[in-house]
Chain A
Amino acid sequence: MQTDELIQRLVADTGAVRRLKSPWWRAIAWLALALPYVAVVAWVHLASFDAVAVVADPRFMIEQAAGLATALTAAFAAFASVVPGFDRRALLLPLAPLALWLASIGQGCVEDWLQLGPDGLSVRPDWDCLPAALIIGAVPAAVLFVMLRRGAPLHPRVSLALAALAVAAVSNLGMQVFHFRDASVMLLVWHLGGMAAISLVAGSLGGRVLRWRHAKGVR
């Protein structure tokens, strides 16, 4: 087929398109959907919730704030990665809140160790919370994936890894409420370890899941 003919077909295939909003706008919109869902699931699954104790724990509040910032910036970076010509430095934005989160949990590990000795750093399997983690992450993941597919798959691995980080971070906001009294090392291994694993798996699937979807029947 000649290129001129292809252009004619593409022109015939076009119509008004709904422009994508800016990555920040989309990240906030996603979070506005994901957060209430996470809150409802956490509330349904929670037997008792001591709101006063939670608010009075500054380290917990710092970790939640850093987790929320990680979710927001990772979603922003994921949405930015599907906009051609966007500044690639945006992709590094989630690193700052992630580092703050890691530092806060690390400080918790040290405090646990000083208070409890080696018992404070013992890691035990906690498979009971896996179903809750899957339920809590399912809807934010589905919404984010659909939103991501409206963009251009320029860096599919990076986009999916960032999206998975955003989903894991927002899910973790609910999961941390379940595990309010848990030792920091448990949060470090299961929550942050789980987030890293999910991001790596999602990233490795990138090219197979996010790919160019050209207009059918044009060529």
Chain B
Amino acid sequence: MTEGSDQDRRLASLMRSAQDGDDRAYAALLGEVAPLIRRMVRRRLAFLQPQDVEDLVQDVLLSLHAARATYQPARPFLPWATAIVRNRMVDRARRHARQAANEVESDRVSETFAAETTNMHEEGYGDAEALRQALGRLPPGQRRAIELVKLKEMSLNDAAAVSGASAGALKVAVHRGIAALRKALGAKGSAKD
């Protein structure tokens, strides 16, 4: 949703009428705004399931409704609406990240053998506990960046929306965090040897 001149003028006019109590203008406004919100949510929060996208669109519509008295007729409509959409998207992305952090995923292993070497995954980290501890020792910014971008596999833009940091800063934090983890795990591995 960006500030398009004609569209913005039309929506602003509908909003002014809606504020004055015109039901039909309000229905037309929400009907036109809902697809714009849906598109923005899908683009920015690509990790959401379709039902979560629709749930968030409805949440935004409720917030637009709650905040409709704050729209000032002299100002453009789309920046006003976009600020609310962004706010609700950040809220939802935070909630999503919190839920994801509490979920524990495990792979189904059909066969196991007693020998330690047979239980090493081909591309695994080897010692998951050591990795967890090394991750815990990272500075908060780097740890958060790795959790969002690497562990939750979010895009840089989505992770930026969640954390409030810029995509560039996240990229740097991930790079430094990975380097620090390599160093910590490598040092530990060589110490064991």
List residues of chain A with CB under 8 Å of any chain B CB: 1, 3-4, 6-8, 10-20, 22, 82-86, 150-152, 154, 212-215, 218-219
Contacts and interface: CB of A to CB of B under 8 A. Distances in A.
Given A12-B23, A214-B65, 10 more contacts: A1-B58, A7-B27, A10-B61, A11-B30, A16-B21, A20-B72, A84-B80, A85-B82, A150-B70, A213-B66
B20 A16 contact: yes
A80 to B, nearest CB: 11
Which label, helix, strand, loop or mixed, suits the secondary structure of the B interface?
A: helix
B62 A85 contact: no
A192 B84 CA distance: 34
Contacts of A151: 67, 70
Interface of B: 18-21, 23, 26-27, 30-31, 34, 54, 57-58, 61-63, 65-73, 75-76, 79-84, 87
Contacts of B81: 84-85
B79 A20 contact: no
Contacts of B30: 7, 10-11
Contacts of B84: 84, 152, 154
A8 B80 contact: no
B82 A15 contact: no
B26 A14 contact: yes
A18 B75 contact: no
A15 B19 CA distance: 7
Contacts, number: 99
Contacts of A85: 75-76, 79-83
Residues of A contacting B: mostly: loop
B72 A83 contact: yes
Contacts of A152: 63, 66-67, 70, 84, 87
B69 A154 contact: no
B69 A20 contact: yes
A10 B62 contact: yes
A218 B58 CA distance: 11
A17 B68 contact: yes
A17 B58 contact: no
Nearest to A82: B70
A13 B82 CA distance: 23
Given A14-B65, A19-B72, A212-B63, A3 B19 contact: no
B179 to A, nearest CB: 34
26 contacts: A1-B58, A3-B54, A4-B31, A7-B61, A10-B30, A13-B65, A16-B19, A17-B19, A17-B69, A19-B71, A19-B73, A20-B72, A83-B70, A84-B70, A84-B71, A84-B79, A84-B80, A85-B75, A86-B83, A150-B70, A152-B63, A152-B84, A152-B87, A154-B87, A212-B63, A214-B62
Contacts of B21: 14-17
A212 B20 contact: no
Contacts of B66: 152, 212-215
Nearest to A23: B72
A152 B27 CA distance: 21
Contacts of A86: 83
B69 A150 contact: yes
Nearest to A10: B65
A21 B71 CA distance: 10
A26 to B, nearest CB: 11
Contacts of A214: 62-63, 65-66
B89 to A, nearest CB: 12
Given A11-B23, A22-B72, A85-B75, A3 B62 contact: no
A219 B75 contact: no
